[in-house]
Structure 1
Amino acid sequence: MISVTMDMVQYDCPYIDVTDDVDVSFHTMHWDFNTAQQELETRILVTGNDRGALTNGLNALQNHEGTLGFELLSRREDTAVIKSFIGQTNAMRTIRKHDGYITGPFRISDGSELWSVGFDTADNTDNALADLEIGNDFRVESRNATSFEDYLDVIQHLGATKSVLDGCRELSEIERRTLQKAVDGGYFRTPRDATLGTLAEAFDVSKTAASKNLRRAEGKILRRVVAALSDIDEENDLNRE
């Protein structure tokens, strides 16, 4: 399998249009493509910079001409979960034409989205990427070939993988951004290249707030990692029997 991660800009995608105009981001939780109706049904976590931004983003998506259906499932402060329907975009059609498939959740913000897609052969990958250049702007962030052994390892440890993914999805927007800034900035290196002071300055908050956001993010991720380690041990024991 060829795994490709790309930063994609589609000009016919309602989600991208909304994030280009409003300070909201979308994180897909579940999707299902109806081949008969050529519709994509998606359950999405929506996060706004504040409550007003979330309201504006939800209204913009619901009223977008490319939105075929919209349902608000839950909402709390600046975060909501929705179910929505859109038609098949040019990029979606191209991926499917070349037997591609989704391998991870979409993350959409600031007018672009991060795609994780897979192809069975290098030829399919090359042809899809060539066709995507027609009508889309994108940048390939990574391209990796996954061996049968690696693929089997993933399949055998789906429970552990899901546990870690669930931990990532539990992060609030500020927790995710703080953790990412800490990692990218070298907070966890020895010696440290970043401090609580630099994190606080980056997000215009106090050191105490930066520390709380970072600790909450670490706690959510590490709890899931520890649970995943136990799942891996159990699955390995079963495979040896």
Structure 2
Amino acid sequence: MIDVTLDMEQYDCPFIHATEEHELAFSAVHWEFDTARQQLQTRMAVEASDPFALDEGLDTLHDHDALHEYDLISKTDGVAHIRTAIDETAAMGTIREGGGYITGPFYIADGSEVWHVGFDDAGEADGTLSRLDRDNEYTVLERTTPEMPDLQGFVQNAGAAMKLIEGCQDLSDVERQTLETAANEGYFESPRSATLSTLADEFDVSKPAVSKNLRRGQRKMLSRVVDVMTELDK
């Protein structure tokens, strides 16, 4: 297996177009290629410098001709979670036709996109990258040939990583915000630089309410962490 990390500039990608116009970034949470429709279906996390930039960027994305489906799943301040379906871009088509496949999440910001692409052998990789160079701007950031133990470790740990991700997704918006604020302001440090009182004041709720949100969030995450530790031990 040949693993290639590319920094791509695509002229027909709606996500790249949105990041050229506005200060925001897209991170793939899940993706799947629909061969019947020739469309890439994704769930994306979107981060912007502020709520205004987020709204403007999502409007630009929504208006792009290559975007066929768009659902706003959630939005909080400068962060959103969306589901989309877009046309297959020229670069995506070239890589698929050359035997390439996505091996990791992609990240889009400032008009370019970082891809992790795998090939079964060096000949496929060289030929596809050569064809890709005819109509696209890209830079090879890294090219590696993982050894079998590395691949086994990646596969074995992928399940553990997904459990942590699922734990984060299980949190409600209030629980997530409470945990993030508590961690950022030093509630879990010793000595504490934040207390239940200061957290309650920040969220404009009672101390029992903020304590309940903290305990619920901690219980959900700790349950996942224990599962992950057990899986890693195995």
TM-score w.r.t. length of structure 1: 0.70
Alpha-carbon distance between aligned partners in 2 of 1:138 and 1:213, rounded to the nearest angstrom? 41
Matches within 5 A, 1:81-120: 81-120=81-120
**CA contact under 8 A between 1:12 and 1:89: conserved in structure 2?**
yes
Structure 1 gap segments, 5+ residues each = 170-210, 217-222, 236-241
Q: Percent identity?
A: 41
Residue 65 of structure 1 and its aligned partner are, at CA, apart by: 1.4
Measure, in 1, the Cα distance between the counterparts of 2:160 and 2:73.
Answer: 27
Provide the secondary structure at the position in 2 that maps to 1:65.
Answer: coil
**Structure 1 residue 152: Cα displacement:** 2.3
The AA in structure 2 aligned to 1:46 is V
Displacement of 1:60 in angstroms is 0.5
Once the two structures are superposed, residues 126-147 of structure 1 have per-residue CA deviations (whole angstroms, 9 ceiling, x without a partner) of 1111111122111111111012
Which residue of 2 is the match for residue 128 of structure 1? 128
Equivalent positions of 1:18-97 (< 5 A) are 18-97=18-97
Paired AA for residue 63 in structure 1: D
Q: The residue matched to 1:36 in structure 2 has which SS?
A: coil
Large movers: runs of 4+ above 3 Å: 161-169, 211-216, 223-230
1:10 and 1:135 in contact (8 A); partners too:
no
Per the alignment, do residues 18 and 167 of structure 1 end up closer, same or farther by CA in structure 2, a change over 3 Å counting?
farther
Q: Distance in 1 between matches of 2:74 and 2:163?
A: 22
Residue 46 of structure 1, CA deviation: 0.8
Which residue does the alignment assign to 1:192? none
Gaps of at least 5 residues in structure 2 are 170-182, 189-221
Measured in 1, the distance between the counterparts of 2:130 and 2:85 equals 27
Match of 2:195 in 1: none
When residues 167 and 126 of structure 1 are mapped into structure 2, their CA distance, relative to the original with a 3 A threshold, is farther
Tell me how far apart the structure 1 counterparts of residues 142 and 97 of structure 2 sit (CA, whole Å): 21
Distance, in Å, in 2 between the alignment partners of 1:144 and 1:164 is: 27
- Measured after TM superposition, the shift of residue 105 of structure 1 is 0.8
Shift in Å, 1:155 = 2.0
Q: 1:182-211: per-residue Cα shift (whole Å, max 9, x none)? A: xxxxxxxxxxxxxxxxxxxxxxxxxxxxx9
Aligned residue identity for 2:79: T
Q: 1:34 to 1:158 in 2, by over 3 A?
A: same
1:53 maps to amino acid: A
Q: Which amino acid aligns with 1:143?
A: R
Deviation at 1:154, TM superposition (A): 2.1
- What's 2:196 paired with? none
Superposition RMSD on alpha carbons, in Å?
A: 3.0
Number of residues paired by the alignment? 191
Asked if 2 retains the 8 angstrom alpha-carbon contact of 1:3 and 1:145, the reply is yes
For 2:134, what is the secondary structure of its paired residue?
A: coil
One-letter amino acid matched to 1:88 = E
Q: Distance in 2 between matches of 1:143 and 1:165?
A: 27
How far off is 1:81 after superposition? 0.7
Give me the whole-angstrom Cα distance separating, in 1, the residues matched to 2:121 and 2:101: 12
Matches of 1:48 and 1:153 in 2, distance apart?
34
Q: Is the alpha carbon distance of 1:132 and 1:215 closer, same or farther for their aligned partners in structure 2, counting shifts above 3 Å?
A: farther
State the match for 2:6 in structure 1: 6
Amino acid at match of 1:8: M
Report the Cα distance in structure 1 between the residues aligned to 2:98 and 2:230, rounded to whole angstroms: 38
Cα offset, 1:165, TM superposition: 6.7
Q: 1:100 to 1:59 in 2, by over 3 A?
A: same
